[in-house]
Amino acid sequence: MFCKKNKILIAINNLNFGGAEKLVLDQINFLFDNGYDVSLLTTIGDKQSNFFDKLRIPESKIYKIKRGKYRLLSSVLFIRKIILNEKFNLIVSHLFHTNTLTRLAIIFLIKRPIFFAYEHNDYSADKKRRHLLVDKVLLLFTDRVIVVSESVRNYLLKNKINEKKIILIENGVYFPDVKVDIKSKKSELGIPDDAIVIVSVGNVTKQKGHDILLMAAEKILQQSGNIYFIVCGSCDGVYAKNLIKKSDSMGGHFKFLGSRVDVLEIVKMSDMYVMPSRWEGLSIALLEALYLRKNIIVSEIESMQRVIINGNNGLFFQPENSDDLADKILYLISNEEKIKSMGNCAYLTSRKYSIENNIRGILDNYNLVLKDKNN
């Protein structure tokens, strides 16, 4: 049985703003708040904006690799030394780079900790063949692969990952107590008091589909000039820069804010949450928007069909279809009663996605793996 004296290491690339990173933050804080011995390992340097100031564990429980992303051997040896010194019972690792390093670090250990590797996304569109090969080889040293949705499970099965090692543990959030002065926040962002605000959260990449939202916004603004669109998320790369350039012609009605510490305040201030993703695992930002009773529109992709009931706690639009997205946004704007009922249903949906349920799933599966090893 996993008990509180057992030691847990949670590992991830960094704690820059992002969904997987927010999950790790919540996992660590929940475990620490409930008396567990938990440590954090990060394997790539952090940007200036990150979640580190929200961690509640002491600095002595935080390990950072500062040697650079591509120094493989020194990084693996550093991790191996930490594991040997601390004698962790369970390692939970997130994202490909860190999954690779941490599994390499335990290969030659005589007594290996139980190892869970997280898969957060359906990578059908962008995971390279060499990455899949690495994952398959290192699966030999992985007790379980945690998937966050059925779509991620299906992706792994399609790529011939051993089904017996795959477990579904849905993401959870530490439900936040968010307070915001809506008038002040709008003023800070250059938005009129009476404007309708539509927000989308996610790093600005092709996966997140902000180009679809931008095209929908152009159509909507031809009919109404008192609507503002906000995107919160990192704006690195050519894709993001091209969208920012296109938005310059929209008179400040489409704002790319970059990474923000006040994302939840902005979401709470907003009237509507839109997620135009082309593929997803299970979005942490979506779960938080549900909790904040937002009116939600998402692309009708597999992972969203498990969370959103069309017309109940949100609306679907046809993937890649900016006209359909524009129509759904305008429909919600003109239907106040629908807005109220959907917000309440969204909140009720969010309650099943608690960080407590997420951690319980991890620890229960630790006990099952331990039982199998002892038999």
What is 7-173+354-374's CATH superfamily?
Glycogen Phosphorylase B; (3.40.50.2000)
pLDDT tens column, 71-117: 889 999 999 999 999 999 999 999 999 999 999 999 999 999 999 99
What are the residue ranges of CATH 3.40.50.2000 in the chain? 7-173+354-374, 182-350
Which contiguous run of DSSP H or E holds residue 291?
A: helix 284-291
pLDDT at res. 145:
97
Find all residues with CB under 8 Å of 120, minimum gap 6, and list them: 19, 20, 94, 95, 148, 152, 281, 282
The pLDDT assigned to 193 comes to 95
Give percent above pLDDT 70 in the chain.
Answer: 97
Q: How far apart are CA 100 and CA 375, in angstroms?
A: 28
Strand partners, 146: 118, 167
* CATH class of the domain comprising 182-350: alpha beta
103, 125, 299, 324 from 352: Cα distances, Å:
31, 29, 21, 29
Please report which helix (H) or strand (E) contains residue 93, including its range. strand 90-94
Per-residue model confidence (pLDDT) at position 124: 58
Which pLDDT score, from 0 to 100, does residue 228 have? Answer: 98
Give yes or no for residue 221 having a pLDDT over 70.
Answer: yes
Report the DSSP beta bridge partners of residue 173.
354
